[in-house]
Amino acid sequence: MPRVLGRTLAVAALTVGLIFIDKHTKYSLSIPGTAHAMVGVALGLLLVFRTNASYARFWEGRILLGGLVNNCRDLARQVRSYMPHLDAGQLDEIAGTISGFAAIMVAHLRSEPIMPVARTYLGDEGAAELQASSAPPLVVASQLGRRFVAEADAGRLSEMRLRTLDTGISDLIDLWGGCERILKTPVPFAYAHHIKSFLTIFCFTAPFTLVGIMGWYAPLAAGVVAFGLYGIDEIGVEIEEPFGRDENDLPMDAIVATIERNVRETMKPSD
């Protein structure tokens, strides 16, 4: 609403001015609406494609985050099943690393400070390794992999089980890469810019086609048209990058909290 309200009111105000000129002067700025209606069909198709492209990015992001939840849960289950010899402290450490991967991945996608999150989940020693890294989630995945390899080298984890756990880590990296692909592949500038230019021209010329046939109802009609079309465009802008902190972005903090809760419950030592 805040993004489209100003432009909507501007279109309505323009319409009022045109009506005033039409009613109180000898000039008439009314134009036929045939060409305008034909252009509106093309604009509608462009807006549909734009919104669908943005929603596809939003939905794919949600699928990837859903995969992150499932893979973290499954990795925790495998650790608990394959390494029953781990004590409570070791289980808590691995649970923190698995949960930390998700939390650090989210902070990395948002370009937020990594170190406070890393210290929370990995401790000072584990977080220090991320200090100069350009790919913090990859470092966390490497820490997790080294921990499993150490267990295998000590004879406490079979090679088959190690391969299964390593596949789970690779799946986490693939999910992170999918999210980065969405983040770093914006909607092409020329496409988005042309739609906005086309939309502005359409909305600010619509009043000229309405004043002659609708009279004082024209400002309301022009405002509704502008609100609807500008709103559709802004919906596409709002959801095309779903990993931020805007109200309509994906609930990533809640997803990370779910992962941490589920992982720690799964890794909790048996009484």
> Is pLDDT above 70 for 252?
yes
> Is pLDDT above 80 for 24?
no
Burial class (CB in 10 A: 0-12, 13-18, 19+), 186: exposed
Mean pLDDT for 31-58 is 86
CA 45 to mean position of chain CA atoms: 24
Task: Select from 21, 3, 44, 19 the least CA-distant residue to 222.
Answer: 19
Q: Is the pTM for the entire model greater than 0.85?
A: yes
Cα dihedral value 78, 80, 82, 87, nearest 10: 150
Weakest mean pLDDT among 14-18, 63-67, 103-107, 257-261 = 14-18
Chain-wide mean pLDDT for the chain?
Answer: 91
Per-residue confidence (pLDDT) for residue 271, from 0 to 100: 61
Which amino acid would we find at residue 71? Answer: N
49-99 confidence digits (pLDDT tens): 889 999 999 999 999 999 999 999 999 999 999 999 999 999 999 999 999
Mean pLDDT for 221-232 is 92
Give me the helices (H) in 33-188, please. Answer: 34-82, 88-109, 115-128, 136-153, 159-183
Task: Select from 203, 210, 252, 207 the least CA-distant residue to 230.
Answer: 203
Mean pLDDT for 2-14 is 92
pLDDT band per the 50, 70, 90 thresholds, residue 33: confident
Cα separation, 83 vs 73, whole angstroms? 16
Task: Select from 72, 135, 61 the least CA-distant residue to 99.
Answer: 72
Q: How many residues does the chain have?
A: 271
